[in-house]
């Protein structure tokens, strides 16, 4: 854990190398290494019941901490298509640093799911 005086925030780094902003409304799931049959590195869930913009900003920060600003911006801009439960984020895949990233949210969904697999998962 690291205090960032300039922004008055706490930087928390988890085992998989992601920095999770303190107090985020994004649901963050990281499976323990001994119980991860799908080899998922991290699952992020943005919930429509909370303000979207702060969650989008946190998704950017989380992804940028692992993949850098370019990939994080690409994914974050893509998920911004979701404005309400009736809008859609069509399923899309990326590969950054040998890690697959998947994003989707169907019309009628109240969440946007972002899944990152461990390196090398096909």
State pLDDT tens for residues 64-121: 999 999 999 999 999 999 999 999 999 999 999 999 999 999 999 999 999 999 998 8
Identify whether the C-beta of residue 89 lies closer than 8 Å to the C-beta of residue 82: yes
Give CA angle at 4 (32, 97), nearest 5°: 45
pTM for this prediction: 0.86
Beta bridge partner(s), residue 105? 89
The share of the chain scoring above pLDDT 90, in percent, equals: 76
Stated as kind and residue range, the H or E segment containing 92 is strand 89-96
If one counts every other C-beta atom within 10 angstroms of the C-beta of residue 20, the result is 20
Q: Reading across the β-sheet that carries 99-105, which strands appear in turn?
A: 27-29, 40-47, 111-117, 99-105, 89-96
Express as a percent the part of the chain with pLDDT over 70. Answer: 93
């Amino acid at each position: 854990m690291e205090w960032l005086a300039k922004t008055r925030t706490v930087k928390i780094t988890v085992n998989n190398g992601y920095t999770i902003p303190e107090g985020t409304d994004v649901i963050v799931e990281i499976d323990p290494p001994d119980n991860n049959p799908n080899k998922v590195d991290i699952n992020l869930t943005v919930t429509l019941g909370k303000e979207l913009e702060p969650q989008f900003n946190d998704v950017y920060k989380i992804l940028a901490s692992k993949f850098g600003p370019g990939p994080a911006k690409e994914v974050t801009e893509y998920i911004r298509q979701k404005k309400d439960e009736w809008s859609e984020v069509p399923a899309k895949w990326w590969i950054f640093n040998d890690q697959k990233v998947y994003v989707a949210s169907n019309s009628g969904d109240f969440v946007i799911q972002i899944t990152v697999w461990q390196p090398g998962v096909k």
